A and B are shown apart, each in its own frame.
Chain A
């Protein structure tokens, strides 16, 4: 017996919004060029190519502006990608890279270095790497701790991970508070500025290794398309469809931590991007991770480059922390998202 199933011909060509991807890519390129072409020092891009640029213009472009735009793009992409992965993994639209403790771990490492590092004697060649290394040690440390605790408490369930993450963030806050307390005035100021996030410290020597880590982590995370889609049906269903769920969870968390940690180590904490960009990607491209992972990366990179551009040009010759810009854009956008969702 069959119900009267009208034989409507159905179209199964994957509904990849290709045109929108092209638009996003072009937008990214355009914003990157805008970022490279704008700044305190006037540098007409064609002059660089024809060799008419002055020494100052060349060095500003190659050593100051380029590493900055480069880093901003990759950090934006990594934060957005990690945010998308974590929202998919936790099946929660409010998930954010901060949940797994990476950012606060990096903050603990960096601030410890600021406050306690004065007593260490560090060779000159290592100097520019001390802060990023300290930060990334903190980031990895906290993430591994989180992973171990969650595992130890059994079942490595999403709720356990969330709760342990909250606990880790609280502990990190206590440590940071203590360090702030024992810091002197100079250290306190440096520390506060570090926390606010900035791309002003970007240089090739530290950006290239960090971006390398981010790229490797991103490649892994983008490869998780199927696992993430299957997980949306539930963990049991994902298992039934062939996903090794515990392994997938562990790897996604650790690689997200790597992607975020490498960036935070250099820039300090930049908020909202990991939370808001995945929603934007879903809005424009759909919910399947087939499109949202790459889409988030593109949108995140574009947004960060623009945010950095605003941060360094809106109050010239001063520079405002880029986190202020991302929060200023992110918060109202988030409200709009909520309004939109509740109207449906």
Chain B
């Protein structure tokens, strides 16, 4: 650019919104990703050769951890990102801080926010969106979708059959100072529960909240779904069962606790469909 002063006129702050899934990216050759489930999708589509860097939430598959790190998804560094010379930055709504996102947009690097919705269709849409942005061959997309077809069918069958009484469940993300942080409505955890054909025992709560033992006991979920991280922090599944908050729930008494990788459960990437299908199989025996 030959006129730096024009750039100076860009003093006004802008909060532009990045484009979404409608057209392919201009140049998807060097992609930086801030968002674990987007990274998963890219590997799932076989497009991982485009990746030049990922963020700290991108732990799956294991190869992703070997890529250069841009830091935590909510605390990105503008120049740090730019130093990698990406041609495309992809992420979800939790990319931040907003000032850094705005700065990156202003530098002209293409930024794409992949929308997310906590339903089975949401996962498919995410897959298609990432594929569209990276201009993936429609054949390859079809192959990928096929891999998810079995789980998708199973989940659709459940939602169609609509049993009168849905079993209740709660999802626990972590234990924060002894208190379980559980999923209320408007969370990925809530979406997971509904996908697996169950009812959220904590539908009175909004968002992820730490619960007191009494609240969890009163909600009395029949099933408890925990992330690996939560179980590890508690010191193993046995210790979790000993936790008074859990011991006195139906899930605790009947030993109906399920444990899985956090990103698989809640990322709403390809593994989430499989996770939901697995859970629903166990529950609706």
Residues of A within 8 A of B (CB): 39-41, 48, 51, 54-56, 58-60, 62-65, 124-125, 127-128, 181-182, 184-186, 189-190, 193, 198, 200-206, 312, 316-319
Contacts and interface: CB of A to CB of B under 8 A. Distances in A.
Interface in B9-59: 10-13, 15, 53
B7 A58 contact: yes
B94 interface: yes
B10 to A, nearest CB: 6
Nearest to A205: B13
Given A64-B79, A124-B15, A59 B106 contact: yes
Contact of B75 (A59, A186, A193, A205): A193
Interface of B: 1-2, 4, 7-8, 10-13, 15, 53, 68-72, 74-84, 94, 96-100, 102-103, 106-108, 173, 181, 207-210
Nearest to B78: A64
Contacts of A204: 11
A131 to B, nearest CB: 9
Contact of A184 (B10, B13, B209): B209
Contacts of B99: 128, 200-203
A318 B7 contact: no
A317 B100 contact: no
Given A59-B7, A185-B208, A317 B108 contact: no
A193 B1 contact: no
A304 to B, nearest CB: 17
Contact of B70 (A127, A190, A317): A317
Nearest to A51: B2
A249 to B, nearest CB: 37
A56 B87 CA distance: 12
B157 to A, nearest CB: 32
Given A190-B97, A317-B68, A317-B81, A128 B15 contact: yes
Given A190-B74, A201-B99, 8 more contacts: A59-B1, A59-B107, A128-B98, A185-B207, A189-B74, A193-B75, A205-B11, A319-B76
Top-4 shortest CB links A-B: A40-B83, A319-B77, A40-B79, A317-B80
A330 B3 CA distance: 42
B79 A41 contact: yes
Contacts of B97: 190, 193, 200-201
Contacts of A127: 13, 15, 98
A62 B77 contact: no
Contacts of B210: 181
A58 B77 contact: no
B144 to A, nearest CB: 29
B82 A41 contact: yes
Nearest to A186: B94
A65 B208 CA distance: 36
Chain A interface SS verdict (over half): helix
B69 A318 contact: yes
B2 A200 contact: no
A40 B72 CA distance: 17
Contacts of B10: 59, 63
Given A40-B81, A60-B79, A312-B77, A55 B71 contact: no
A193 B74 contact: yes
A318 B77 contact: yes
B4 A62 contact: yes
A186 B79 contact: no
B81 A200 contact: no
B79 A39 contact: yes
A317 B71 contact: yes
A45 B8 CA distance: 17
A253 B119 CA distance: 55
Contact of B77 (A40, A56, A190): A40
23 contacts: A39-B79, A40-B81, A40-B82, A40-B83, A41-B82, A58-B7, A59-B106, A60-B78, A62-B7, A63-B10, A63-B103, A63-B107, A64-B107, A125-B13, A182-B209, A193-B72, A193-B75, A203-B99, A203-B103, A317-B53, A317-B81, A317-B83, A318-B80
Contact of B83 (A41, A48, A54, A202): A41
A315 B13 CA distance: 28
Contacts of B74: 186, 189-190, 193
Given A64-B103, A184-B208, A203-B99, A316 B12 contact: no
A190 B175 CA distance: 19
Contacts of B79: 39-41, 60, 64-65, 312
Contacts of B81: 40, 317
Nearest to B73: A189
Given A55-B1, A58-B7, A200-B99, A317 B208 contact: no
Contacts of A186: 74, 94
B108 A56 contact: yes
B80, B97, B100, most chain A CB atoms within 10 A = B80
B271 to A, nearest CB: 20
Contacts of B69: 317-318
Contacts of B11: 204-205
